[in-house]
Amino acid sequence: MNRILKKSDMVSLATGLARPSREEAEAAVRTLIRWSGDDPDREGLAGTPDRVVRSYEEFFAGYDQDPRDMLQRTFEEVEGYDEVVVLRDIRLESHCEHHMVPIIGKVHVGYLPDKRVVGISKLARVVDAFAHRLQIQEKLTAQIANTLQEVLQPRGVAVVVEAAHQCMTTRGVHKSDVTMVTSRMLGAFRDNGETRREFLTMIGRTSV
């Protein structure tokens, strides 16, 4: 009889690392609560370790997803369409790998098809798969663009990320209303200024 795998039995698809048990994770949260100066057994905090672990399962679901698999189903019946495809304002929710606090913003993705296109929801899923890991914005931007280029093999890929980092707004220098912008241009978007400007115009920017 096959035994149902628990989360503690699994390894991260993205890193190959084994996970500690759920009980160990909850114990770690209790330790942090005590370290912060509070009592993890008081009424308001008694269920917090369980809630935090369940939140982490959602926040970091990307470690169990393969973005390349999401792009395997493509379509060739596009009636000769060969212009830029853009999905803009994709909601970004990630976490800074340095302080483990939220990165909130939006991602714009564009590509210039060669012979095939992919469903637009898959572009958003690729963004989420990489975002739902501990990240820095520069790496996230490159991962999205590189994966689209490697799997779809289009004539070019463009990715722009605009995000606010709570490691800067709620701690440290405490600078609010600051947005970090990163971009990665590949193929035609790097080599052809007109194609790059077309993409930037479509996402409402003049430059990056």
Q: State which H helix or E strand residue 28 sits in.
A: helix 22-36
Q: How far apart are the first and last CA of the chain?
A: 57
Per the annotation, the verdict on 165 as an active-site residue is: yes
Active site residue 97: yes
Catalytic residue among 23, 97, 138, 150: 97
Locate 158 and state its tokens. 């463009």
Candidate list 26, 99, 153, 166, residue with the active-site label: 99
- To the query of whether residue 174 is one of the catalytic residues in this protein, the response is no
Residue 98 annotated in active site:
yes
Give DSSP secondary structure letters for 115-165. Answer: S-EE-HHHHHHHHHHHHSSEE-HHHHHHHHHHHHHHHH--SEEEEEEEEEE
**Nearest one of 166, 109, 105 to 131, comparing CA atoms:** 105
**Active-site residue, 167 included:** yes
- Rounded (5°) CA angle 193-196-201: 120
Catalytic residue among 65, 137, 143, 149: 137
Of the residues 24, 72, 98, 138, only one is catalytic, namely 98
Q: Which of 96, 108, 162, 198 is catalytic?
A: 96
- Which is the catalytic residue, given 93, 153, 166, 167? 167
Q: What span, in angstroms and rounded, lies between the C-alpha atoms of 162 and 144?
A: 14
Contacts of 22-31 with CB under 8 Å at 24 or more apart are 22/53, 25/49, 25/53, 25/56, 26/50, 26/52, 26/53, 29/53
Considering only CA atoms, give the Rg of the chain: 20
Catalytic residues: 96-99, 137, 165, 167
